[in-house]
Amino acid sequence: MVSVNLEAKKTVDVMIEKADDLNIAVSQLSNGATIIDCGVNVAGSFKAGELYTKVCLGGLADVGISIPGDLSEKFALPSVKIKTDFPAISTLGSQKAGWSVSVGDFFALGSGPARAIAKKPAETYEEIGYEDTEADIAILTLEADVLPVDDVAQHIADECNVDPKDVYLLVAPTSSLVGSIQISGRVVENGTYKMLEAIKFDVTKVKHAAGIAPIAPIDPDGLKAMGKTNDAVLFGGRTYYYVESEEGDDIAEVAAKLPSSAADGYGKPFFDVFKEAEFDFYKIDKGMFAPAEVVINDLTTGKLYKEGYVNVDLLKKSFGL
């Protein structure tokens, strides 16, 4: 079976080789772990954001940035586009922010291929029938404002049963260009996550997926940046899923429940919802974390379903335009 760590390593190698061009910084800890700073002490770049997002997806997706050529009254922003033929593995098996890395004073949400070795969380890997048993390296992306030190790398090495010198940690704050790009790059994953977690649909039936979401404006305030980046997907993300349905599957119902607008709490910028929840993610309706617009092509019947909509007014409100 494909290894998300070995596939992602191809992109990591490019980032290390072209670090100067990408406005990122590569360093090694005393235990040999490699740190790739993509926005803590460096500016990062659009290309670094593309590559970082591809690493999050285990190297199993095409990632690009497009500039809409729309000069009408519509609200157009540079956007991240994702295409994958391994939707369950690349999004839930790798990209999902499923590992809370907490060591001493350091805390970060961990995404990326190393999760598939450590199986964080285990139930996700049981549900999609995947784990990375091929890799002798561990690659993790960390959403953090500070760079990790030796004990963090050692912890990740121990959890993945690899030597620290075979650990690669990519770091970008939410309030950075790369951070903003990689969160918009979760547009497809937000849909597969909701399918599995909220709708209880077997995501291994999703054979291909694509999506596009605007890149949120960068805000130096981390909490406000978290709100804007989530809203980019919730109110601006468009997704396309190609599903091989089986007898008994109600794809029309899946499509109807999938967009963010189907959630009870829909209608306010994410920052406001987060504040009302006392900044506790676990108090927020899981159904909120979803793309704005969903198109599902049922490969078995040939039927097409479209639900949800891009909410320009809420995007403008969130982004303070």
Tens digit of pLDDT for each residue in 169-222? 999 999 999 999 999 999 999 999 999 999 999 999 999 999 999 999 999 999
- Which 8-state DSSP code applies to residue 202? -
pLDDT of residue 70: 63
Task: Please report, for the chain, the start and end positions of each structural domain, with discontinuous segments joined by +.
Answer: 4-319
Find the range with the poorest average confidence among 47-61, 69-83, 173-187, 289-303. 69-83
Report residue 154's pLDDT band, with 50, 70 and 90 as the boundaries: very high
pLDDT above 60 for 71: no
Q: Strands, E, within 156-225: which ranges? A: 167-171, 206-214
Q: What is the pLDDT of residues 213-242, one digit of tens each?
A: 999 999 999 999 999 999 999 999 999 999
Dig out the tokens for 142 from the structure. Answer: 């960390």
How far is 5 from 12, CA to CA, in rounded Å? Answer: 10
Classified as helix, coil or strand, 142 is strand
Average pLDDT score over the chain = 96
Are 164 and 63 contacting, i.e. CB atoms less than 8 angstroms apart? no
With tokens 């190393």, the residue in question is 114
Find the range with the poorest average confidence among 68-72, 107-111, 191-195, 205-209. 68-72
- Give percent above pLDDT 90 in the chain: 91
Classified as helix, coil or strand, 275 is helix
Q: What integer is the mean pLDDT of 148-164?
A: 98
CATH fold, domain 4-319, is 3.30.1030
Classified as helix, coil or strand, 93 is helix
How far is 208 from 84, CA to CA, in rounded Å? Answer: 6
Dig out the tokens for 73 from the structure. Answer: 């009254």
How far is 318 from 305, CA to CA, in rounded Å? Answer: 28
Q: What is the pLDDT of residues 114-151, one digit of tens each?
A: 999 999 999 999 999 999 999 999 999 999 999 999 99
How far is 2 from 6, CA to CA, in rounded Å? Answer: 8
- Which 8-state DSSP code applies to residue 96? S
Dig out the tokens for 203 from the structure. Answer: 């995501």
Are 184 and 212 contacting, i.e. CB atoms less than 8 angstroms apart? no
Find the range with the poorest average confidence among 70-79, 92-101, 132-141. 70-79
pLDDT of residue 283: 82
Classified as helix, coil or strand, 204 is helix
How far is 57 from 95, CA to CA, in rounded Å? Answer: 5
Report residue 72's pLDDT band, with 50, 70 and 90 as the boundaries: low
pLDDT of residue 281: 74
pLDDT above 70 for 163: yes
Q: Are strands 138-143 and 167-171 parallel, antiparallel or unpaired?
A: parallel
